[in-house]
Structure 1
Amino acid sequence: MTLVMSGGFGSYLSVMTADTRQVSRLKIGNVEKTFRYHDNENKASRLSDFTLFGSGGDSLLGTEIKERLSEIMTPSSDLVECGKALEKVLGEMRADGSLSSEKDEDFFLQIVISGFCKDGTSGEVKYDDFKTGVRFKRFNNFRYDGTIIAPSADHLEAIIKNTKFPQAAQGREHEAVINYLATVHATLAYLEQDTVSTKCNYYGIMKNLQDGTLTHFDGSVDTKGWINE
Structure 2
Amino acid sequence: MDFNNIHFGLVRTFDPGNIGSAFRGLINMGFENLWVINPINYIPKTIEMMAAGTRDRLDLLKKTDSVFDFAKDLDVVYGLTARNRKMYEQISVNELIAELENKKYQNIGFLFGNETNGLTNDELKYAKKTVFIQTSEEKPVLNLAQSVIIISYEIRKLLLDKRNNKKSKPKNFNYISLKKKEKLFNNMFKIFSEVFFKKEKRISKKKKILFNSIKRWDLTKTEFKYFNNMFIKLSRILKKKEEK
TM range (shorter): under 0.3
Q: Which has the higher helix share?
A: 2
TM-score (norm 2): 0.24
Q: Which has the higher strand share?
A: 1
Tell me which of the two structures has the higher relative contact order, counting C-alpha pairs closer than 8 angstroms and 6 or more residues apart: 1
TM-score (norm 1): 0.25
Structure showing greater radius of gyration is 2
